Amino acid sequence: MYQRKRIELIIEKMAHKRAGRIFESCGMTGYTVLPALAGYGGGNRWSRDTDISASRDMVVIISIGDVARVTETMTQLEDLLGEHIGVVTVSDVEVLRPDRF
């Protein structure tokens, strides 16, 4: 098993393509977007099924990559998150096939 980094970005659904472009341009080999159902932040709750505008929907983007690319990606995500709401974390993971990342 090999050491890699895992980025987890929680961001507005409307902005997820912006985030995706950052991952792609920083050379991350892939990412996966999960829909969120509900959430809480800044004192406010939201829920997908009770907001007809869907404008508060959030998604979680997971992306696995090597340290260098993850660092590069984080710099650009910092700029994106300066504008958008959302939360980003990085953690250590082990992977099977190191050449994929």
Tell whether residue 34 is a contact of ligand AMP (CB under 6 A). Answer: no
**In the 8-state DSSP scheme, what is residue 56?**
T
Both structure tokens of 63: 């992306």
CB of residue 70 to a second copy, shortest distance in Å: 10
Task: Give Cα 23 distance to the centre of its chain.
Answer: 9
Interface characters, 46-75, with a second copy (x: CB under 8 A): ------------xxx-x-x---------x-
Residue 48 φ/ψ region, left for φ over 0, alpha for ψ in the -120 to 50 degree band, beta for the rest = alpha
Q: In 3D, which of 36, 1, 19 has the Cα closest to residue 74?
A: 19
* Count of residues that bind other proteins according to CB under 8 A: 32
CB of residue 88 to a second copy, shortest distance in Å: 6
Give residues in contact with other proteins (CB under 8 A): 12-15, 17-22, 25, 44-56, 76-77, 79-80, 82-85
